[in-house]
């Protein structure tokens, strides 16, 4: 693991801080690290209506365990045309709206710096929302200290923070240009929750044409996935298939390549 003194000194130079807490591994480790080093901090989460099940409860549970004040902002992303219409710049627009809300809350609570869990392995080509961070002056201590995914996961084990499978907003399950509907989001959330109880690792249920689904998961569990197809279809999908290649990073457009 890299020298921890960089992280500790950086966090202290930013305090009091507001940690943009999604409930995923990276931001959770950042909050736990700030607490370990006695950095004055609050946690701020945004309920966008696009959050995968389990993330907000995880954020709340961690904040309570660490004794850190936790603020949840409600922001309906489907009220924003670029998000609802699933335009190519959706991720940037969504991230910008979320972070603007967190920055405003941080100012109200007299926090000097907003920090997030972006690390050195996060790439702008797969995370277009990263541009919003620099525009709003949000700092990313892991990235600034040269710490990547493996470093963050090692810290998670040291700090007793669960390492959760990679996650992304539910809108990434719908191909660019197809309208994001509450019905489709609910179907995806229900299907992924059902499969996560049976299959370990990263699971994605890609949704197109409103009610067609493609399941991405570890091919090693294909037989179990086949046994679960009817249960997924009964949630309300017209057709369900299993992606041969398993999980592919890049959103719902990836499974059409």
Give the model's pLDDT for residue 256.
46
Give the model's pLDDT for residue 230.
95
Tell me the whole-structure pTM to 2 decimals.
0.88
Residue with the larger pLDDT of the pair 110 and 209: 110
Write the DSSP symbol of residue 214: E
Mean pLDDT for 27-46 is 97
pLDDT tens, position by position, 163-203: 987 778 899 999 999 999 999 999 999 999 999 999 998 89
Task: Identify the CA nearest to 46 among candidates 87, 77, 85.
Answer: 77
210 confidence band (pLDDT: 50, 70, 90): confident
Residue located via tokens 């080093």: 37
Give the model's pLDDT for residue 251.
54
Give the model's pLDDT for residue 75.
94
**Burial readout 213-245 (b: 16 or more C-beta within 10 A, e: otherwise):** bbbbbeeebeeebeebbeebeebebeebebbee
Task: Identify the CA nearest to 72 among candidates 26, 23, 27, 107.
Answer: 23
127 confidence band (pLDDT: 50, 70, 90): confident
Residue with the larger pLDDT of the pair 116 and 246: 116
Give the model's pLDDT for residue 209.
83
Q: Which two tokens stand for residue 72?
A: 């949840």
Q: Over 70: is that where the pLDDT of 254 sits?
A: no
Chain-wide mean pLDDT for the chain? 91
Query: Is 104 in contact with 75 (CB distance < 8 Å)?
Result: no
Q: What CA–CA distances, in Å, run from 29 to 41, 151, 161, 235?
A: 13, 11, 6, 35
Give the model's pLDDT for residue 5.
86
Integer Cα distance of 144 and 136 in angstroms:
16
Residue located via tokens 């091919």: 219
Query: Is 240 in contact with 215 (CB distance < 8 Å)?
Result: yes
Give the model's pLDDT for residue 3.
63
Length of the chain: 257
Give the model's pLDDT for residue 2.
59
Mean pLDDT for 210-230 is 93
SS3 assignment, position 231:
helix
Query: Is 247 in contact with 219 (CB distance < 8 Å)?
Result: no
């Amino acid at each position: 693991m890299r020298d921890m003194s960089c992280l500790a000194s950086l966090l202290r130079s930013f305090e009091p801080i507001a940690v943009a807490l999604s409930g995923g591994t990276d931001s959770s480790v950042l909050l736990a690290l700030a607490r370990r080093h006695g950095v004055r901090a609050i946690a701020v989460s945004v309920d966008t209506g696009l959050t995968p099940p389990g993330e907000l409860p995880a954020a709340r549970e961690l904040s309570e365990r660490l004794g850190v004040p936790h603020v949840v902002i409600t922001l309906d992303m489907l009220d924003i045309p670029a998000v609802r219409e699933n335009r190519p710049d959706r991720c940037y627009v969504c991230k910008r709206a979320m972070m603007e809300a967190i920055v405003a809350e941080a100012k109200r609570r007299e926090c000097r710096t907003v920090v997030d869990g972006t690390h050195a392995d996060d790439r702008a080509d797969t995370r277009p929302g990263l541009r919003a961070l620099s525009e709003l002056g949000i700092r990313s201590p892991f990235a600034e200290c040269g710490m990547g995914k493996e470093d963050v996961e090692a810290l998670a084990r040291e700090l007793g923070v669960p390492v959760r499978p990679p996650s992304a907003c539910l809108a990434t399950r719908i191909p660019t240009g197809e309208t994001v509907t509450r019905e489709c989001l609910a179907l995806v959330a229900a299907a992924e929750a059902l499969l996560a109880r049976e299959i370990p690792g990263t699971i994605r249920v890609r949704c197109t044409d409103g009610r067609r689904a493609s399941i991405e998961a570890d091919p090693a569990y294909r037989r179990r996935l086949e046994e679960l197809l009817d249960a997924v279809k009964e949630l309300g999908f017209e057709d369900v298939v299993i992606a041969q290649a398993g999980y592919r990073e890049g959103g719902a457009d990836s499974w059409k390549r």
